[in-house]
Amino acid sequence: MNRLQMAQATQQTSEHTSERTAERWSMLADLVADGDVVVLSGAGLSTESGIPDYRGETGRRRRADPMTYHTFVSSASARRRYWARSHLGWRHIVDAAPNAGHRAVAELQRRGLVSGIITQNVDGLHEAAGAHGVIELHGSLHRVRCLGCGHRGARHELDRRLRAENPGWHSRTALINPDGDAVLTTAEIETFRTVDCEGCGGVLKPDVVFFGENVPPSRVQECYALTERAGLLLVLGSSLTVMSGYRFVRHAAARSIPVAIINQGPTRGDGEALITFDAPLGPALTTLQADLA
């Protein structure tokens, strides 16, 4: 094959690929236009807001070692390490703004096309963009729970108390890991002072599901029920590496509910999906929203 023939073959392949992509996009737009869309979102939806993820490119650069539930509850020094890092990183979470992807999901919900949102994220950005009724599968960093009496409170109140106990701490600079953990030295961590529940003196924990901790069964059942009523399960920005989110893809596929995935990179659920797109979430969802106007 000479150079001209090679160029012609390459052009034909490119044109065929473009046609197939356009066909898949049209199919996705038609499915969303039919309504009853349930969104399952992951960390990839929030990376454009500056929040790193664990498994995408930003997460790989940081090589994060997330806190496990067992370590947190069994070690006072581990809790000090967690709260020191989290307190410093909290401003990164609270200052983050919804991006175009969050806003597009909220707009599709406003139009009545999205009937439910399940998020694996703990940053609250769906709600900040105007979405409502969001099921926070793994909880939210915006709340704190006492492991003694069960009281739940606002994170900003804990932040106020920790600032009072650690003057000047919040002005430090550090690299931020996924879920708002800052990178600190052991010496820095040892100077940090934690606080307990004001009501019972119990241990305070962020109201999120740590690694090694189970999602409350009632929350899981709510997600299953929502999935069963879906006309389309639309996965946004999740590699589906952990079963916590992947189970809903399997649940939908087993009931012949179409699954569409938009993510940067392959996912564990690609085999169950009717449609997959490897694309940045913000531009893709903005285009989808415009196509459905």
Does 197 show up as a binding residue in the annotation?
yes
Does 200 show up as a binding residue in the annotation?
yes
Task: Please write down the HEC assignment for all residues of 78-132.
Answer: HHHHHHHHHHHHHHHHHCCCCCHHHHHHHHHHHCCCEEEEEECCCCCHHHHCCCC
Question: Is 138 an annotated catalytic residue?
Answer: yes
Does 116 show up as a binding residue in the annotation?
no
Does 11 show up as a binding residue in the annotation?
no
Does 221 show up as a binding residue in the annotation?
no
Does 245 show up as a binding residue in the annotation?
no
What is the separation of C-alpha 168 from the centre of its chain, rounded to a whole number of angstroms? Answer: 31
Does 149 show up as a binding residue in the annotation?
yes
Between the CA of residue 67 and those of 56, 156, 191, what are the distances in Å?
A: 19, 21, 20
Catalytic-role residue among 102, 138, 142, 251: 138
Does 238 show up as a binding residue in the annotation?
yes
Pairing of strands 259-263, 275-278: parallel
Does 44 show up as a binding residue in the annotation?
no
Does 123 show up as a binding residue in the annotation?
yes
Torsion of CA 263, 269, 274, 277, to 10 degrees: 10
Does 223 show up as a binding residue in the annotation?
no
In the annotated binding site for NAD(+), the residues are: 120-123, 237-239, 263-265, 281
In the annotated binding site, the residues are: 120-123, 146, 149, 197, 200, 237-239, 263-265, 281
In the annotated binding site for Zn(2+), the residues are: 146, 149, 197, 200
Catalytic site positions: 138
